Amino acid sequence: MDKVLITGGCGFIGRALTAELLDAGYDVRVFDSLVEQVHEAGAPELPAQVEVQTGDMRDAAAVKKALDGVNGVFHLAAEVGVGQSMYEITRYVGANELGTAVLLEAMIDRPIRRIVVASSMSIYGEGRYVDASGASYNNIRRKARDIAAGQWELHDAQGLPLRPMATDEEKQPDLASIYALNKYAQERASLIFGDTYETDAVALRLFNVFGPGQALSNPYTGVLANFASRIASGERPTIFEDGQQQRDFVHVRDVARAFRLAFEKPEAAGHAINIGSGQAYSIERVARILAEAMGKPDLRPEIMRKARAGDIRNCFADISKARELLGYQPRYRLEDTVGELADWVATQTVIDRGAEMRRHLEQRGLVK
């Protein structure tokens, strides 16, 4: 039986991965710092057979202890939040980049056969686009003056609209936030380590993960959890820009299965792989679907018509590589499982901090 370590294992994805690995017969150890912003209610309850160690990823002694006796690592520990990363820069770089460096250094000379690291779709910046002639645009950004004028979509040099396409792993990264920079550093450091030492490495570029168990009181978590917090509190979901920006939403159980497959499939070694649903959803549509599922269809989203620093317009996943290398196929569509999320939210005590998040961003000039 493989004994594996999950860093950040008390988090939303970490708990789902723990369940997936236990079902598959793995012996699981969890390492987590239990950051208050995420774990306001304290440590979550995990199955009795799971060994839990607490500590900071930057603490070399604690990380070395967590690695004792394991032969596989799932590295999920990270500070998460595009907006927050733009002003709590030291915190994000320290936890995400330095924490990963401490982990990799501690792995040298240990019999660990594979590390699977959580990367992010945020590294792409804007996704792929094509123009009316079919020509591809793989590294394009919106201009600040266009955003200020409320021109949200991307256009070619002649001012004609570009059409968003599914983004594959060959798309050149374009790092638009400190968080994106952190995730790319985590990914590349892990893959470089795998090339250098006798440890396979795989990076999973996660798109927007949703499902029961997200931290509803953390305003920098996933957009669906933010919407759920607002709706449960009787408030309208807040949406930046015009609400027509498109994202890919993937269920946490699909993500957990993808991590297990990335650990088990020999052909995945050395690769960065998209994990999403392969579907594109407008943010406004998602807010309306969730409000309906939560029995509050009249709480129509508040469209801000303002842009947030570090945000991109469109990005959704091409998952062909995940299908080929992992045998991955998403099983839980947003439309079919949002009711499950709504039922779970109804059992939770929710503190909506969406307005607090907006205030923090606006005070620093990060919403325009």
pLDDT, position 253: 98
> How high is the pLDDT of residue 84?
87
Cβ(28)–Cβ(22) below 8 Å: yes
SS3 68: coil
Position 362 scores a pLDDT of: 72
pLDDT for res 45: 83
| Choice among 179, 220, 281, 328 that is catalytic | 179
Q: Is the separation of the CB atoms in 173 and 188 below 8 Å?
A: no
Helix%, strand%, coil% for the chain, nearest 5: 35, 20, 45
Which residues, including other chains, have CB under 8 Å from residue 90's CB and lie 6 or more apart? none
User: What are phi and psi for residue 158, nearest 5 degrees?
Assistant: -90, 0
pLDDT, residue 261, reads 98
* Domains of the chain, earliest start first: 3-363 (3.40.50.720)
What pLDDT was estimated at residue 309? 77
Cβ atoms 275, 254 nearer than 8 A: yes
Q: Which residues of the chain have pLDDT under 50?
A: none
Q: Respond yes or no: is residue 87 known to be catalytic.
A: no
Tokens at 157, concatenated: 């040099």
List the Cα angle 61/64/69 in 5-degree steps: 145
Q: What pLDDT score does 303 carry? A: 95
Q: What's the pLDDT at 115?
A: 98
d(CA 58, CA 77): 11
pLDDT given for residue 39 in this prediction: 67
Tell me the two tokens of residue 269. Answer: 């070694």
Residue given tokens 């088990």 in the structure block: 264
pTM of structure: 0.94
